[in-house]
């Protein structure tokens, strides 16, 4: 699977660890930055991540910041992207199954690396259920429906 990953300065270490883990799992990973712990603005990286998921360059996205809140808000500004803030595997799985989430966000200050890997595995291993959920997911991208 093609996966894009981005963070802010607070989550650079978790981003590197998850990037390497995803590559070990056989995924193609695009690291969208940042490269250093110098202070950056999370919206810039959230928008970049949303763009590559929306245009199909990446099938899934992983957004990381200190809490996961700010970067998830910026990713969700793109109507083609559904980013779920998760902190444990059940939420990650349900985000895919019920909401067809194509991105997840996590907080590096709140979620340890083992839990982040478990969330990411659940997210990637779960398929969208469709059916009764499809109508609702369609409304996320087009409120006029």
Catalytic residues: 65, 98
The three-state secondary structure class of 22 is helix
Sign, Cα dihedral of 33, 108, 115, 49: negative
Strand order in the sheet with 2-7: 28-31, 2-7, 60-65, 103-107, 83-85
The answer to whether the beta carbons of residues 46 and 33 sit under 8 Å apart is: no
Of 106, 102, 97, nearest to 76 by C-alpha is 102
């Amino acid at each position: 699977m093609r996966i894009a990953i981005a963070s802010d300065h607070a989550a650079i270490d978790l981003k590197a660890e998850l990037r390497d883990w995803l590559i070990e799992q056989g995924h193609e990973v695009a690291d969208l930055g940042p490269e250093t712990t110098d202070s950056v603005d999370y919206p810039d990286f959230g928008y970049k991540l949303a763009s590559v998921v929306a245009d199909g360059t990446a099938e899934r996205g992983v957004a990381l910041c200190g809490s996961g809140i700010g970067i998830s808000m910026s990713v969700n500004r793109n109507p083609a992207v559904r980013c779920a803030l998760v902190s444990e595997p059940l939420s990650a799985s349900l985000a895919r199954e019920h909401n067809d989430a194509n991105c997840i966000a996590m907080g590096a200050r709140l979620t340890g690396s083992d839990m982040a890997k478990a969330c990411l595995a659940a997210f990637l291993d779960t398929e969208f259920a469709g059916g009764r959920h499809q109508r609702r997911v369609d409304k996320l991208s087009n409120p006029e429906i």
